[in-house]
């Protein structure tokens, strides 16, 4: 049962071939046997999952056909869950139990989804490998010596290891797409404003977006539709109708124009990655799409702009962790200010401190114009590049990452090399576009991801193209071999 995709499980539940209790128990048993090797979950919720499964079976018996009813899912531990610990992978929030659900969590619960647990993440979603978690490192199911990517590495590893049918992650600079690439699954980052951020613990408010990690493209379409939509509690949420994304799957892509940005084939890219992506482009051409090479000239500045804007927003967002209202509090301070400083000293990890300092410096008097303001102007130029590109094509296609998953510990002492892991994904967040990663090959036995980039609020097109490619190939059917 744990090999079922979301849509296969959906059919099996509706046809009463399997109950939600049986399906949930199968995933819990696999989680018990596999999780010690992967360590994808910070919090596992067997009792909650079993109660929800019993309620789902009751609803199914009454003919309820909610798309996610009875489906066991995992949630990245940066999304608030009422009555359930939410740590953000940080010591400073260890033991924090939110009094409310994030909007996306509330939507999943309303549909009758089963919550298996909260997945591991780089602390406050700041990282590209899940090595920055304050608790433990998550391992890539394809090779336990490799990282699963980050910051949604726990969610990606859980889906790849089949300890959840699908999972929610978040994407601030590639944190859904990059781990999807490394773990050989599908990851979609919706347009900024498509999915509510209410209840998402903020890292960089103008960049964060909740996304989906699934086994195939149809699953991504189902899960995205369930969490998308306007939310009056999120001022950045856009009031647009949510399409039925499944309806576009299976439509031919003949005549679609695919842009190939030359800047995304960077120096130092692993040769096998480029070959796999070029082969995927050729496959799309066989399916009737036309390829057009183009330029996004300001791409080279995206990394620098991102690592000014994101830390600046983080320094403001993380100022709320003072040890007074909630979370960890240093108990032996000499006075209020000493307690405040030491709470942050011992509560935050090295990467979070690094980004707070970068951001505070970029926002400080005398440097604001030189750094933060200039980065925002570069952000506009990057957005303009994409606007011009989409006048010539319908979707862009490129590698998701320059290499396959790297070894645990390989880049942890070199922040710049770690940041370069996201060099091909950052621009989408700066421009607020939608994007996704799907499997397109292997190198050294490790998955390679193909990135699709779409116009704002045009998730339908990238899903349509991704599904056409997926159905013409077998990469998405590959599974890592894991034994208890």
Q: How many CB atoms lie within 10 A of CB 477?
A: 10
Closest residue by Cα to residue 396 from 264, 261, 299, 217: 261
Q: How far apart are the first and last CA of the chain?
A: 16
Percent of the chain that is helix, strand, coil (3-state, to 5): 45, 15, 40
CA–CA gap between residue 46 and residue 306 (Å, rounded): 39
Closest residue by Cα to residue 48 from 68, 30, 66, 74: 74
| Phi, psi for 247 (deg, rounded to 5) | -65, -25
98's CB contacts (< 8 A; 6+ apart) are 80, 81, 82, 83, 84, 86, 199
Catalytic residue among 19, 20, 76, 427: 76
User: 15's torsion region: left (phi>0), alpha (psi -120 to 50) or beta?
Assistant: alpha
Classify burial at 199, counting beta carbons within 10 Å of its beta carbon; exposed 0-12, middle 13-18, buried 19 or more.
buried
To the query of whether residue 329 is one of the catalytic residues in this protein, the response is no
Catalytic residue among 90, 128, 129, 151: 151
CA–CA gap between residue 301 and residue 305 (Å, rounded): 6
- For residue 88, the 8-state DSSP code is T
To the query of whether residue 339 is one of the catalytic residues in this protein, the response is no
Given a contact cutoff of 8 angstroms between Cβ atoms, the answer to whether 359 and 337 are in contact is no
CA–CA gap between residue 44 and residue 56 (Å, rounded): 19
Element (H, E) at 167: strand 166-170
CA–CA gap between residue 258 and residue 293 (Å, rounded): 8
Given a contact cutoff of 8 angstroms between Cβ atoms, the answer to whether 349 and 308 are in contact is no
CA–CA gap between residue 344 and residue 89 (Å, rounded): 15
Catalytic residue among 90, 152, 155, 175: 175
Classify burial at 66, counting beta carbons within 10 Å of its beta carbon; exposed 0-12, middle 13-18, buried 19 or more.
middle
113's CB contacts (< 8 A; 6+ apart) are 52, 68, 69, 70, 71, 72, 73, 226
To the query of whether residue 427 is one of the catalytic residues in this protein, the response is no
Active-site residue list: 76, 151, 175
């Amino acid at each position: 049962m744990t090999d079922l995709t979301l849509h296969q499980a959906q059919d099996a539940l509706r046809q009463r071939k399997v109950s939600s209790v049986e399906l949930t128990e199968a995933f819990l048993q696999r989680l018990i046997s596999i999780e010690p090797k992967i360590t994808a979950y910070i919090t596992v919720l067997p009792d909650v999952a079993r109660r929800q499964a019993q309620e789902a079976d009751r609803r199914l018996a009454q003919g309820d056909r909610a798309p996610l009813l009875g489906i066991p899912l995992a949630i990245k531990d940066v999304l608030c869950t009422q009555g359930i610990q939410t740590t953000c992978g940080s010591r400073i929030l260890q033991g924090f139990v939110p009094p409310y659900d994030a909007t996306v969590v509330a939507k999943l619960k309303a549909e009758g989804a089963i919550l298996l647990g909260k997945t591991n993440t780089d602390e406050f979603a700041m990282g590209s490998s899940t090595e920055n978690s304050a608790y433990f490192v998550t391992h890539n199911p394809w090779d336990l010596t490799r990282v699963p990517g980050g910051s949604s590495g726990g969610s990606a590893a859980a889906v790849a290891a089949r300890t959840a049918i699908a999972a929610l992650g978040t994407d601030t600079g590639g944190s859904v797409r990059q781990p999807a690439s490394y773990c050989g699954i599908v990851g979609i980052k919706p347009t900024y404003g498509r999915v509510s951020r209410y209840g998402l613990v903020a890292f960089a408010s103008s960049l964060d977006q909740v996304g989906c990690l699934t086994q195939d493209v149809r699953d991504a379409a189902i899960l995205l539709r369930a969490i998308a939509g306007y939310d009056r509690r999120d001022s950045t949420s856009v009031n647009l109708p949510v399409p039925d994304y499944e309806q576009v799957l299976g439509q031919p892509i003949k005549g679609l124009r695919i842009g190939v940005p030359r800047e995304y084939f960077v120096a130092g890219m692993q040769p096998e990655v480029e070959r796999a992506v070029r082969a995927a482009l050729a496959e799309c051409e066989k399916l009737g799409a036309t390829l057009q090479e183009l330029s996004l000239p300001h791409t080279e500045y995206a990394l620098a702009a991102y690592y000014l804007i994101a830390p600046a927003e983080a320094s403001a967002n993380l100022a709320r962790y003072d040890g007074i209202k909630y979370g960890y509090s240093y108990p032996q301070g000499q006075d209020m200010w000493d307690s405040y400083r030491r709470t942050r000293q011992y509560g935050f990890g090295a990467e979070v401190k690094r980004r707070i300092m970068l951001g505070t410096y970029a926002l400080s008097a005398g440097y604001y114009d030189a750094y933060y303001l200039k980065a925002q102007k570069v952000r506009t130029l990057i957005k303009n590049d994409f606007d011009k590109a989409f006048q010539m094509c319908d979707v862009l296609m490129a590698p998701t990452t320059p290499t396959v998953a790297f070894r645990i510990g390989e880049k942890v002492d070199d922040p710049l090399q770690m940041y370069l892991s996201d060099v091909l994904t950052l621009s989408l967040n700066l421009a607020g576009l939608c994007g996704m990663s799907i499997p397109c090959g292997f190198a050294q036995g490790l998955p390679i991801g193909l990135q699709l980039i779409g116009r704002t609020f045009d998730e339908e097109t990238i899903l349509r193209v991704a599904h056409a490619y997926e159905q013409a190939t077998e990469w998405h059917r590959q599974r890592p071999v894991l034994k208890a």
